[in-house]
Structure 1
């Protein structure tokens, strides 16, 4: 039955959950790409822009690849870079936008021909090619830029490019990390491959997402051939000690330790990966590992294939960051209000790991948590399906309880089908709460409306029969 459900849902997901770009008629000129990514259902219903960050992403094209060629001087904290964006038009385009925060753009070319450009707002780079681009046409945009990248400050801490204690730099975080250091279509709905060539002074090392392809003097190259969301990209520059190894399953491991960072956490990675692949299936990437800094980071960022951990990161952070490679990177969200969906499951995998390694039984942990919060209106009043702008990562303490309640409600067999197979069938199909609700009901083969309304959309303590 599991195989039959999986095949049926794979087809259903393709039909129900695809995304396209809405033509930019709102501008009064249907050749101008929107300055926010507009989600459109396959049936033509306009879902709109991300309600939390309506200017994120852009319309009129889909990106296939980013190729960033940069040099960075740690002493001056100065970046010189050229990015080549390869994309395909989804409409005729006389003008379109990219997202880039700060930094000085010195030239833009479209298909190697100089294009005019202006900066608008806090992150819009508006490009006008010399000639209008036809629909369904591949094109390239070359952007040359420079400056001192700056972080963006969010309720959960700094994200994007920041200087490390040792004088290096790291760019990681969500929701707006990528646009602090390269021009991007900054929406999770537009995944692309990623290539990085980085030139740094002698003694400095560059670590990024993907697979390291070459090191020649100061020039270091990384390639991510698995399409990646912008917020899952990462770059780190430091005087790293780099350790390479291979897991028993053949997955390459690249760990990078900045001066002062401990190595104990990284030693747990093989055991955690063995546990997670047992629960979630084969690791979806060719390489794993981590970047370990002594800095006080607000959180460990689950960059694709290579999470970034600060000095305070512990075992739970490692497990959650690696679990997010399935629930968060392979299965990526549509809009930022959907973030609690993947985050809650990644956190539940920490609970599973703890229980399997001598920690508290999950049911006891769940009951203890329910007793602690009681009917606290502040706790239950946060809606999982819509936590509010800036609070996308703030409700997983409620979300992890929802995940265990779902397990109790549908039974272990069907729950672990959801846990393992939803990320697998959703490869390159970004998912939201609505899609997840359809999927869980199909796997459970029962009406879960009351459960979803109480736990996902509700703002009060769910009734006893759903706990």
Structure 2
């Protein structure tokens, strides 16, 4: 299958790669793709002085600059302009660490494998807190400074040529700290049972390993973690081995930094295999119940019917007795707290399609994937004898009335720190779309968009073009009212 074009913002086409041959794509999806094509679609003293700014095009930016494959510069994320970094693309992370739960102390080494996208005399990684003791680029010592909240600024011994593979080895240590976000605590934090958890968006990965912390740079992720006897480590992907306190994990499906996770505790581990060969690994912390996990097989069967084949070779979850603000939809291994019910489990699983396979471009795009994942949870509850989605929709409309506090939040641009707080409106938008374009076309969007968009991050603009192509109609009024609007949509669009 040849290259295909995906329209980017402002009408610019972005060119992606071939679709994975393992995924079956419906005839409608092929037609949609053609539509887009034709439309062109230990400790040391560190300098804390900021690096001197240079007008030098060999210095990588301290925020990820989104650039379409056709060269059009889309800019940094306006919500998180210093997240991620420019000048390179990461292929993989290998994190080797040892952690002492009693002292709460981490010693670690991360190797970042990447390719330059320009000549680089200097570049950054994101790392919050922790003490860096050494940096090497391609095995040669490099100088480094810390700048701002999370910038690790690295100057290699010589300028790196463009389009060249290179490695960065960072040695570091310390007591990792959590991040406090409007949605709740993310990143590295101690759990009720004395273990630790690092998960969550937008900032979690950089609290425990140096990373290009942007959803636009997916990479493989390998972890080798040593803990005392009696403790276990759970992370993304496949558990490759456990030997004398060393736990090895490999995630070979490229992952966004915010979807990575690590949990260390005295876990009870339960492994099984689902029909079709999907491996299941569930980890239960002391004091956590096992009951929620028993619904996983039937949940995945339901989701396969709505969303298509599960996009990963592994699944399962981490179950904690802590009262987490929400279930973290970490790739392949969501993290659930004591209050998580079936709806939270289903939504975290649906996020493996809408949120992990289909990853966003920028912070403002988060409600797009969150709203669809939440709607799938509504569908699950309806299928189990709960209220119909139409009844829930109508009840929510009546409750909201014309309240500007509800409708005044713009789905396409809710504001920094509020991108996770508008799914109560967003889930209504999803059902309104279903009513507007009909079930056949709606369920095509639900199933096919994550499969078609697997190779490229997506934003609201891309989604709007896609839904219009599927519906084969002008959806401008719908999108303006529901996605960009700040008042109750008119009756004909509800």
Confirm whether residue 286 of structure 1 aligns to residue 313 of structure 2: yes
Confirm whether residue 446 of structure 1 aligns to residue 473 of structure 2: yes
The CA distance in 1 between the partners of 2:259 and 2:390, in whole Å, is 32
Structure 2 counterpart of 1:456: 483
Structure 2 counterpart of 1:269: 296
Structure 2 counterpart of 1:23: none
Structure 2 counterpart of 1:222: 249
Query: Alpha-carbon deviation of 1:14?
Result: 8.3
* 1:131 counterpart (141, 152, 158): 158
The CA distance in 2 between the partners of 1:393 and 1:144, in whole Å, is 34
Structure 2 counterpart of 1:7: 30
Return the TM-score normalized by structure 2. 0.91
The CA distance in 2 between the partners of 1:379 and 1:96, in whole Å, is 42
Spell out the pairing of 1:250-329 with structure 2 (5 A cutoff).
250-329=277-356
Structure 1 counterpart of 2:11: none
The CA distance in 1 between the partners of 2:39 and 2:294, in whole Å, is 42
Gaps of 5+ in 2: 1-24, 42-52
Decide whether aligned partners of structure 1 residues 332 and 359 sit closer, same or farther in structure 2, where only a CA change above 3 A counts. Answer: same
Structure 2 counterpart of 1:22: none
Structure 1 counterpart of 2:92: 65
Q: 2:410 touches 2:486 (CA, 8 Å); kept in 1?
A: yes
Q: 1:199 touches 1:220 (CA, 8 Å); kept in 2?
A: yes
* 1:204 counterpart (231, 254, 275): 231
Confirm whether residue 149 of structure 1 aligns to residue 183 of structure 2: no
Confirm whether residue 349 of structure 1 aligns to residue 376 of structure 2: yes
Spell out the pairing of 1:38-49 with structure 2 (5 A cutoff).
38-49=65-76
Tell me the SS of whatever aligns to 2:198: strand
Spell out the pairing of 1:376-391 with structure 2 (5 A cutoff).
376-391=403-418
User: What CA deviation, in whole Å up to 9, does each residue of 1:273-321 have, x standing for no partner?
Assistant: 1100111111000100000000111110000000000111111110000
Q: 1:31 touches 1:93 (CA, 8 Å); kept in 2?
A: yes
Q: 1:5 touches 1:442 (CA, 8 Å); kept in 2?
A: no
The CA distance in 2 between the partners of 1:73 and 1:193, in whole Å, is 26
* 1:169 counterpart (190, 196, 201): 196
Decide whether aligned partners of structure 1 residues 143 and 14 sit closer, same or farther in structure 2, where only a CA change above 3 A counts. Answer: farther
User: What CA deviation, in whole Å up to 9, does each residue of 1:35-75 have, x standing for no partner?
Assistant: 00011234433211000010000000000000000000000
Decide whether aligned partners of structure 1 residues 106 and 353 sit closer, same or farther in structure 2, where only a CA change above 3 A counts. Answer: same
Tell me the SS of whatever aligns to 1:189: coil
The CA distance in 1 between the partners of 2:192 and 2:330, in whole Å, is 20
Structure 2 counterpart of 1:247: 274
Decide whether aligned partners of structure 1 residues 356 and 260 sit closer, same or farther in structure 2, where only a CA change above 3 A counts. Answer: same
The CA distance in 1 between the partners of 2:173 and 2:69, in whole Å, is 40
Query: Alpha-carbon deviation of 1:15?
Result: 9.9
The CA distance in 1 between the partners of 2:395 and 2:79, in whole Å, is 33
Q: Number of matched residues?
A: 459
Q: 2:223 touches 2:248 (CA, 8 Å); kept in 1?
A: yes
The CA distance in 1 between the partners of 2:345 and 2:222, in whole Å, is 26
Decide whether aligned partners of structure 1 residues 103 and 362 sit closer, same or farther in structure 2, where only a CA change above 3 A counts. Answer: same
* 1:104 counterpart (127, 131, 142): 131
Q: 2:315 touches 2:333 (CA, 8 Å); kept in 1?
A: yes
Q: 2:231 touches 2:266 (CA, 8 Å); kept in 1?
A: yes
The CA distance in 2 between the partners of 1:76 and 1:307, in whole Å, is 27
Decide whether aligned partners of structure 1 residues 420 and 102 sit closer, same or farther in structure 2, where only a CA change above 3 A counts. Answer: same
Confirm whether residue 333 of structure 1 aligns to residue 360 of structure 2: yes
* 2:118 counterpart (87, 91, 95): 91
The CA distance in 2 between the partners of 1:221 and 1:382, in whole Å, is 44
Q: 2:35 touches 2:469 (CA, 8 Å); kept in 1?
A: no
The CA distance in 1 between the partners of 2:40 and 2:360, in whole Å, is 11
Decide whether aligned partners of structure 1 residues 17 and 296 sit closer, same or farther in structure 2, where only a CA change above 3 A counts. Answer: farther
The CA distance in 2 between the partners of 1:48 and 1:302, in whole Å, is 27
Query: Alpha-carbon deviation of 1:249?
Result: 2.1
> RMSD across aligned C-alpha pairs, in angstroms?
1.5
The CA distance in 2 between the partners of 1:72 and 1:458, in whole Å, is 49
Structure 2 counterpart of 1:55: 82
The CA distance in 1 between the partners of 2:82 and 2:298, in whole Å, is 41
Query: Alpha-carbon deviation of 1:6?
Result: 1.1
The CA distance in 2 between the partners of 1:210 and 1:419, in whole Å, is 25
Structure 1 counterpart of 2:19: none
* 2:464 counterpart (437, 450, 454): 437
Gaps of 5+ in 1: 19-25
Q: 1:17 touches 1:435 (CA, 8 Å); kept in 2?
A: no
Confirm whether residue 74 of structure 1 aligns to residue 95 of structure 2: no
The CA distance in 2 between the partners of 1:297 and 1:61, in whole Å, is 35
The CA distance in 1 between the partners of 2:321 and 2:38, in whole Å, is 46
